Amino acid sequence: MAAAASAVWGRAEQQDFRSRVRGTLLGAALGDALGAPLNGLSLEAIREQCGAGGLTDLAPAYGRRGAVTHLTQMTLFTVDGLIRAQVRRDTGAWHPPTDLHRAYRRWSATQTDWGPDERRKDDGWLAREEWLYARRDPDPACLQGLSDGVMGTLDAPKNPCESGGEPVVRAAPLGLLVGWEPQLVMQLAVEGTAQTHGHPTAYLAAGAYAVILHGLARGESLDAAVQRALAMLGQRPGQQPVADALQHALGAVRQGMPTASRVQELAGAGTAEGALAVAVYCGLVSEDVRHGMVLAVNHGGPSAATGALTGALLGALHGETALPPAWLAELEGRATVLLLADDYAMEMTQGPALHGPGASSPGWLARYPRG
């Protein structure tokens, strides 16, 4: 697997990209936190609990407002893995799916009885963030797929019957690999997903989502990015359910004012293609970021996942400044998300200067070890 050569970045381009990276990661975490209190509730139960309009603001989950689930945890470790993959290019030993697997194994270790003080030095700084050790209903398929240390592949995927939407969320950072060609972004998302969710619907939905977000990070419209994803899906075996779900989302946009019942229909059984359809639909019909995320979580499916997917899309599309400030003020782990986002943006735009010959930031390898 090889990526396109990095482009030369101007100052304005770097600032715009950093805003989109921050928007993506913060937006995903906000959508996750917004939807977390609704996971497992039917639409009727949501309306009974929150009123006819459903949930419209952050509500307590895990004992506080703004708390995130394992979806945000794994998304952050995805970023950590991608940065370390870029760092390892200097050694000539470069295989990003392996670096993702190592990152996901570092996350799975946070869900054991270990604490951050017991981590190895080469686990890097993110593995020492205490708040990431909270158990937030981790997906059993993720834990099982990572438990034996053997990396799942497309030829031998882990959990081949698992088609849930959880791995689509963690594919968001892959869309920020703007120096890569879209085909490579899709391939890495597919291979990364097969490490825990081996059903074609799951890994192709993740691949399509990464390609869509990749287009947004490059300044394309959401509609154009979806059309590219559909064209690329056409070349993949087993793609029909995902392609149909995206077409269904595009068709729903033309059916008038958005409603919770329409979102419920798109979500379907709560599998990966339904979560993707909800995110695309809510991104296309939203009046602003807040409206889109509220629309995305008020249904009887995986509300945290659809909220996170929608938040990341809208954050990539509009940048950090479009996110609701009041929600950001309450977001769990906000400082960590910002620091990681800025490191990711720096790695993507200045990588060789950070860890190549004559590097200007000697501490970078301590933060993101090559091991």
pLDDT of residue 30 exceeding 70:
yes
For residue 362, the tally of other CB atoms under 10 A from its CB is 9
Residues 340-363, mean pLDDT to the nearest whole number: 83
Retrieve residue 174's tokens. Answer: 């892959």
Q: Tell me what the pLDDT averaged over the chain comes to.
A: 93
- Alpha carbon separation from 107 to 35, 68, 81 (Å, rounded): 22, 15, 10
pLDDT at 351: 83
279-301 mean pLDDT = 97
Q: What percent of the chain has pLDDT over 90?
A: 84
Return the minimum-mean-pLDDT range out of 30-39, 105-114, 224-233, 289-298.
105-114
Confidence of residue 370 (pLDDT cuts 50, 70, 90): confident
Q: What is the pLDDT of residues 177-190, one digit of tens each?
A: 999 999 999 999 99
Return d(Cα 275, Cα 168) in angstroms, integer: 8
pLDDT on residue 6: 44
DSSP 183: H
Question: pLDDT higher for 89 or 218?
Answer: 218
Residue 361 binned pLDDT confidence (cut-offs 50, 70, 90): low
Q: Are 6 and 351 in contact (CB under 8 A)?
A: yes
Residue 15 CA to chain centroid, in angstroms? 21
* Burial of residue 52, with CB atoms counted within 10 A of its CB: 0-12 exposed, 13-18 middle, 19 or more buried: exposed
What pLDDT does residue 353 have? 82
Count the neighbouring beta carbons within 10 Å of the beta carbon of residue 112.
11
pLDDT band at 113 (very low <50, low <70, confident <90, very high): low
* Residue 115: predicted pLDDT: 65
Amino acid 1: pLDDT: 43
Q: Is the pLDDT of residue 110 over 70?
A: yes
Token couple for 53? 């309009």
Q: Which two tokens stand for residue 12?
A: 């304005």
* Mean pLDDT to the nearest integer, 314-336: 98
User: What confidence tens digit (pLDDT) does each residue in 118-167 have?
Assistant: 676 668 899 999 999 999 999 999 999 999 999 999 999 999 999 999 99
pTM of the entire predicted model: 0.95
Report, as an integer, the average pLDDT of 69-97. 92
Between 42 and 10, residue with greater pLDDT = 42
Backbone angles phi, psi at 245, to 5 degrees: -65, -40
Asked if residues 329 and 65 have their Cβ atoms less than 8 Å apart, the reply is: no
pLDDT category at 360 given cuts 50, 70, 90 is low
Distance CA 306, CA 304 (A): 6
Average of pLDDT values for 5-11?
63
The one-letter amino acid at 31: G
Structural domains of the chain, with CATH: 17-367 (1.10.4080.10)
Q: Is the pLDDT of residue 285 over 60?
A: yes
pLDDT score of 2 more than 70:
no
- Range with the lowest mean pLDDT among 21-25, 86-90, 108-112, 239-243? 86-90
- Given a cut of 80, whether residue 114 has pLDDT beyond it is no
Q: Please report the pLDDT score of residue 11 as a whole number.
A: 85
Arithmetic mean of pLDDT, 220-236: 97
Q: Evaluate if residue 10 carries a pLDDT over 90.
A: no
